[in-house]
C-alpha cells in the first residue's frame, strides 16, 4: 500500500486525536508496567548507580529462589522491554546488559532479539491505529515515497525479507520510522517480525558481551576501571560501524545480493528538507530506481 500521489497536508484537527490516543496508550501501559514491577517484584525504577546495582542483585536472587519467582522476573522484564521497544524509548542497552547479567550471553541475545521483534510488531500495530495522518507530513512523506520505490525494486530482485533484514542490520533509518512506515506501506507482519529478530541479534549480542559490567559497578569510581572502559569502548566502536563504513558495506552487500547500484552511487542523493543526509541514523535512499 503506497501513499496517495497527491496527499493533503494533515491539519491539527487530524493529528491531535491520533497523537492524544498514542500518548494515552503510552502512559496507561507505562503505569501498568511500573505497577506490575512494584507489586510482583517489589522494585522501583532506580535513580542512582547504587539503586541500579541493588535492583540487579535483588532480581538475580529472586530469579534463583524458585521457578515461580524466576517466571515473575522474566515476565516483568519482558513487559518492560516490549513497552520500551513499542514506543521507541531509549534504554535498550541497559535492558540488554541486565538480561545478560541475569541469564548469560546466549540466552540474553536470543531473548532480547525476540523481545525487540515483539516490541517492534507492537509499534507496527500502533502505526496502523494512529500513524496514517503523520505519513503525509513533510519529510515523512518524502522518505515514505522513497521507501516505497526501494521496496518495489528489492521485492522483485532479492525478496522483501532480505531487504528488510538489510535495513535492520544497518539501521541508517531510525527504528521508529521503519516501525511506523512499514505497515502503512504494505509490509507484511511476518517478514517484518523475523527480519527484525535476525537484524537486531548482532547488536544485542554486542551489548550482552558487556553484561557483566553491572556486577563490576560497586561504586562510581568503578566506571573508570580499565576493563570496564574497554568493554564499553568496544560496544561504542561497533555501533559506529554503520556510520563510518555504512556506504561501503551497503555497496558490497548490494553487489553480493545481485541488486542494482543505488542512485546515490551515481551522485544522485535525494534532498530532504531540514535534514543533512550525512547525519548518522538516516538511510540514503535512491531518487530514482535503475534497472
Condensed to tens digits (0 to 9), the pLDDT of residues 209-265 reads 776 666 665 544 544 455 655 665 665 566 556 555 656 766 776 677 666 665 544
Mean of pLDDT values over 115-130 = 91
- pLDDT tens digits for range 35-47: 888 887 777 666 5
More confident residue, 219 or 48: 48
First to last CA, the chain: 22
Residues 6+ apart with CB under 8 A from 50: none
Model confidence over 51-81: pLDDT tens digits? Answer: 666 777 888 888 888 888 889 889 988 998 9
Q: What is the DSSP string of 27-82?
A: HHHHHHHHHHIIIII------SHHHHHHHHHHHHHHHHH-HHHHHHHHHHHHHHHH
Domain positions in the chain are 15-266
For residue 98, what pLDDT is reported? Answer: 83
Kindly state the cell numbers that stand for 166: 538489510
Q: Where does the pLDDT of residue 2 fall: very low under 50, low under 70, confident under 90, or very high at 90 and above?
A: very low
Position 277 scores a pLDDT of 32
Helix axes 49-65 and 67-86, enclosed angle (nearest 10): 130
Torsion angles phi and psi, residue 230, rounded to 5? -65, -40
Higher-confidence position of 202 and 259: 202
Q: Is 240 helix (H, G, I), strand (E, B) or coil?
A: coil
Residue 91 has pLDDT above 70, yes or no: yes
Among residues 105, 73, 108, 86, the alpha carbon closest in space to that of 27 is found at 86
Higher pLDDT, 13 or 275: 13
Question: What confidence tens digit (pLDDT) does each residue in 124-180 have?
Answer: 999 888 766 666 666 566 666 666 666 666 555 456 787 788 778 766 667 788 888
Residue 213: exposure state from Cβ atoms within 10 A (0-12, 13-18, ≥19): buried
Helices vs. strands in the chain: H and E counts, helices first: 12, 0
Burial label for 106, CB within 10 Å (0-12, 13-18, 19+), is: exposed
Higher-confidence position of 198 and 245: 198
What confidence score (pLDDT) does residue 41 get? 79
Is the per-residue pLDDT at 183 higher than 60? yes
Whole-number Å distance between alpha carbons of 201 and 209: 12
pLDDT of residue 273: 33
Q: Look at 75 and 10; give whichever has higher pLDDT.
A: 75
pLDDT of residue 61: 86
Summarize the confidence of residues 192-214 as an average pLDDT. 82
What span, in angstroms and rounded, lies between the C-alpha atoms of 11 and 137? 10
Instruction: Tell me the C-alpha distance between 237 and 144, whole Å.
Output: 30
Amino acid at each position: 500500500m503506497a501513499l496517495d500521489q497527491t496527499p493533503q497536508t494533515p491539519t491539527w484537527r487530524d493529528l491531535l486525536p491520533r497523537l492524544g490516543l498514542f500518548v494515552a496508550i503510552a502512559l496507561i501501559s507505562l503505569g501498568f508496567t511500573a505497577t506490575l514491577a512494584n507489586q510482583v517484584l517489589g522494585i522501583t525504577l532506580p535513580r542512582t548507580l547504587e539503586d541500579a546495582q541493588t535492583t540487579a542483585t535483588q532480581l538475580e536472587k529472586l530469579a534463583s529462589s524458585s521457578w515461580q519467582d524466576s517466571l515473575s522476573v522474566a515476565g516483568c522484564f519482558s513487559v518492560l522491554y516490549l513497552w520500551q521497544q513499542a514506543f521507541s524509548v531509549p534504554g535498550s542497552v541497559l535492558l540488554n546488559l541486565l538480561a545478560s547479567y541475569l541469564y548469560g550471553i546466549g540466552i540474553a541475545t536470543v531473548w532480547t532479539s525476540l523481545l525487540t521483534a515483539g516490541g517492534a510488531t507492537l509499534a507496527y500495530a500502533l502505526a496502523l491505529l494512529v500513524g496514517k495522518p503523520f505519513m503525509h507530513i513533510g519529510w515523512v512523506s518524502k522518505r515514505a515515497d522513497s521507501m516505497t520505490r526501494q521496496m518495489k525494486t528489492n521485492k522483485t530482485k532479492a525478496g522483501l525479507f532480505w531487504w528488510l533484514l538489510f535495513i535492520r542490520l544497518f539501521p541508517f533509518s531510525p527504528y521508529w520510522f521503519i516501525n511506523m512506515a512499514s505497515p502503512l506501506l504494505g509490509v507484511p507482519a511476518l517478514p517484518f517480525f523475523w527480519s527484525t529478530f535476525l537484524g537486531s541479534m548482532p547488536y544485542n549480542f554486542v551489548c550482552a558481551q558487556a553484561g557483566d559490567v553491572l556486577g563490576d559497578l560497586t561504586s562510581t569510581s568503578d566506571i573508570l576501571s580499565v576493563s570496564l572502559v574497554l568493554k564499553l569502548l568496544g560496544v561504542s566502536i561497533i555501533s559506529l560501524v554503520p556510520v563510518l563504513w555504512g556506504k561501503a558495506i551497503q555497496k558490497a552487500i548490494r553487489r553480493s545480493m545481485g541488486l542494482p547500484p543505488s542512485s546515490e552511487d551515481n551522485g544522485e542523493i535525494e534532498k530532504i528538507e531540514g535534514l543533512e543526509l550525512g547525519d548518522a541514523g538516516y538511510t540514503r535512499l535512491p531518487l530514482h530506481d535503475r534497472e
